[in-house]
Amino acid sequence: MTVSLEMVLPGMFGYWVDQKLGTVALFMLIGFVLGITAAVWHLIQMTSGEKNKGPSSEGGRLSAKNGGSDRELNEEGKPKP
């Protein structure tokens, strides 16, 4: 819902500004471009946040390296006893 509003509301605000100033679709296009840019950035932030969740300080990558175990790795990349 938030992402869709981020795309639509700036364009609608730009349309309103165009109506007040008598311009033809200038601010509406600027609004939609800014809105789509913000929405894509927000989607990237939301999806990259899902990947970085995990018990390790490396964003969950530590447990993937040692076969799903939550044990720490030694210098050689093998699980510590």
**Which of 20, 59, 14 lies closest to 34 in space, CA to CA?**
14
How does pLDDT run across 13-67, given as a tens digit for each residue? 999 999 999 999 999 999 999 999 999 999 999 898 765 555 554 544 444 554 5
Which pLDDT score is estimated for 27?
96
**Better pLDDT: 72 or 37:** 37
Q: 55 burial class (0-12, 13-18, 19+ CB within 10 angstroms)?
A: exposed
Predicted structure pTM score: 0.56
Q: How far apart are CA 33 and CA 40, in angstroms?
A: 11
The tokens describing 77, both together, are 């990349």
Per-residue confidence band for 3, with pLDDT thresholds at 50, 70 and 90: confident
Cβ proximity of 40 and 57 under 8 Å: no
Does residue 81 register a pLDDT over 90? no
